[in-house]
Structure 1
Amino acid sequence: MPKPFTPKVVTANALLEGDVIYQTTAGWSRDLKDAEILTDEAHADLRMIEAGAQVDLVVGVYLADVSLEGDTPRPTHFREDFRATGPSNYAHGKQEHV
């Protein structure tokens, strides 16, 4: 029996800056809360194809599991939590405003 599809978001790294980015319904965002939440496997596959074709903007496209707190996605794996908050060695980028 196949594993049930859990909510996911499309994530990648911005090609020029290297920042972690998330696919939205209108493009890309550096904030996970803006990400399009995918709950249908066929739709997720289509969004992955679309994202992967944007080789001039992104690199390393993949689906990341999320849980939902209301309408807000939260990472379910420590790697995605780390990526969402940015580098941890000193405050810059996403952690600059924390």
Structure 2
Amino acid sequence: MPKPFTPKVITANALLEGDVIYLTATGWTRDLAQADVLTDEADADLRLIEASAQTDHVVGVYLADVTVKNGIPHPAHFREDFRARGPSNYPHGKQEHI
């Protein structure tokens, strides 16, 4: 029996900057809170195919598990939490404001 489909977001890296980005209804964002949460497996598969075709903007597109609290997606795994915070070598970019 297959595992039940859990909420996911589509994530990738911006091709030019390398930043972690998330798919929204209208494009890409660097803010996980603005990402579209996908709850239907067939829809998620189609959106993943469409996002993967945007090779002039993104690289490494995949579905990431999230939990939803108060309507806001949060990473379900440490790896995604780490990616959402940005580089860990020194404060810059997203970490500059933490």
Q: Under TM normalisation by the shorter chain, which class is it?
A: over 0.9
AA partner of residue 25 (structure 1): A
User: Which TM-score applies when normalising by structure 1?
Assistant: 0.98
After superposition, where does 1:15-30 map in structure 2 within 5 Å? 15-30=15-30
User: Which TM-score applies when normalising by structure 2?
Assistant: 0.98
Q: Indicate the RMSD between aligned Cα atoms, in angstroms.
A: 0.5
Q: Residue 14 of structure 2 corresponds to which residue in structure 1?
A: 14
Counterparts of 1:83 and 1:34, CA distance in 2:
16
1:97 is displaced (CA, Å) by 1.1
**Residues 50-93 of structure 1: per-residue CA shift (max 9 Å, x gap):** 10010000000000000011110010111000000001121101
Give the gaps of 5 or more residues in structure 2. Answer: none
Q: Identical aligned pairs, as a percentage?
A: 74
AA partner of residue 23 (structure 2): Q
DSSP-derived class of the 1:74 partner = strand
Counterparts of 1:87 and 1:55, CA distance in 2:
23
Runs of 4+ in structure 1 over 2 Å off:
none
Q: Residue 2 of structure 1 corresponds to which residue in structure 2?
A: 2
